[in-house]
Structure 1
């Protein structure tokens, strides 16, 4: 766990409350099936906008500070919330990069028009409509060049071209090094049909899914729980990205959330 115990009593309480969440020891309301978020582990946001401003204060002025960006992220359970958060955070960033989608089997073009393919938002695939700017935080969606460019690596965009992105590593042993990301054909694997999407293998990562955040260490973390956690240990994973309650901001309607814990998995 990323818990800072040195000279910080709140961090010690934070670690104990995290273990209670992870072990499923926080009492559950029998009527709603929800738990009340322990007040010792976080600061509450009353709205999604407040959550964003708490994690990314004055982003219009600070987005050029790579150290500042690397230290923070907002997490959510599902991609639909993540996409909405990313668009909201980056709504004033200009620039537009469009992809070219086509069906792998040309005989299927009539059955699956381009407009339909462009509308698909699939796990592990970049969106058809990708908006980026110098200073955007992105996450890599493919293993491109191990051990440097792997699925889940967070980067900062430093230069944009029609068919090439220049980016720098935000964290890790290659922090500060530049890399090149080409626009490449990506083939879908989660659909009955196969189609290619010609796009950069990245997505915005001001916000990311809780599952994608595993292994990440942050200094400031926000959690949007409009849509509840749906798998074992998700809430624990999200809350444990930081080490003290002053660094964790949570938006949950009614300050009640679902904590999915399968006790059999803990034995």
Structure 2
């Protein structure tokens, strides 16, 4: 086959992913649409050569035989979940609603206050570590949706001492031309402020000195200000927020984070709008997807709803 007739002109392209864990995000789609959007259903798949990663790198060898046994058992259980070989405790009509029981050693039994009990376990000895950046950068609570993330973040924020600083954004519709004036008036600023989109900050941002935050945009990659960088708030000013990086190769460096303009893409609304806000979000808790690429020592999972959308 000539290079011109090959996909991508014969250039080597690497596709990475694990179809057992994370499938494409398809808004308002069911299981057939989500599975159909996966890479292995693409016409390009027949031209791909598959390389399998067989060693679980995050699960390194322990210091004792007992630790090695626990690591090996957990790794084998993970693979069984991905392969669908875990014995179900109930099975509903739809395959995506199979329920199975988690190992008891990984479950925190709580009836009345599950969120607070999980916070107490993940953020143990909280009051004595509120000024320790490494304490917050090494742990987090993960959950599937942003709604639950906000509830957990503000519950922990209330436990921090100090004054709460509230920053509001500025929303505006993108220019549509003079003929769109009547259309623009149909969407007041109050309505734009109420819109919450995962890729941009919310209308109201509450912070305290010592709060761990995560950067939501690439501001200066050379200085370590990248999307996903975890930082600690060290100062709250009127038009900027001073933060200290707590992870990566630029640990300990301080930077002033300004408000920036952000325009969301692929929204369900029939208009484009612009939001000016600090590109920061609290990261006591974060979504499971947002946690990819993060290095954490202590992780708590809060799963109030089924988390496996595809089986």
Normalized against structure 2, the TM-score is what? 0.69
> Given the alignment of the two structures, is residue 95 of structure 1 paired with residue 151 of structure 2, yes or no?
no
Cα distance in structure 1, aligned partners of 2:231 and 2:134: 12
- Counterpart in the other structure of 1:207: 285
- Counterpart in the other structure of 1:20: 80
- Counterpart in the other structure of 1:244: none
- Counterpart in the other structure of 1:228: 306
**CA shift for structure 1 position 82:** 1.0
- Counterpart in the other structure of 2:186: 111
**CA shift for structure 1 position 201:** 0.7
Cα distance in structure 2, aligned partners of 1:96 and 1:138: 14
Larger relative contact order (C-alpha < 8 A, sep ≥ 6)?
1
- Counterpart in the other structure of 1:2: 58
3-state secondary structure, aligned to 1:173: helix
Structure 1 gap ranges (5+): 233-259, 261-267
Larger Cα-atom Rg: 2
When you count helix as a share of all residues, which structure comes out higher? 2
Q: 2:207 aligns with which of 123, 132, 137?
A: 132
Normalized against structure 1, the TM-score is what? 0.80
- Counterpart in the other structure of 2:195: 120
Deviation readout 1:39-91 (Å, 9 max, x if unpaired): 25x14241111011111134344221111111100001111111111111112
| Equivalenced residues, count | 232
- Counterpart in the other structure of 2:252: 176
Cα distance in structure 2, aligned partners of 1:135 and 1:206: 12
CA contact (8 A) 1:96 1:132 kept: yes
- Counterpart in the other structure of 1:44: 108
CA contact (8 A) 1:78 1:227 kept: no
Cα 1:114/1:220, change in 2 over 3 Å: same
**CA shift for structure 1 position 92:** 4.3
Deviation readout 1:199-252 (Å, 9 max, x if unpaired): 1011111111101111212111011100221446xxxxxxxxxxxxxxxxxxxx
CA contact (8 A) 1:2 1:217 kept: no
CA contact (8 A) 2:142 2:299 kept: yes
Deviation readout 1:154-209 (Å, 9 max, x if unpaired): 11111111111111221111122222211112122233311121110111111111
Structure 2 gap ranges (5+): 1-56
- Counterpart in the other structure of 1:152: 228
- Counterpart in the other structure of 2:266: 190
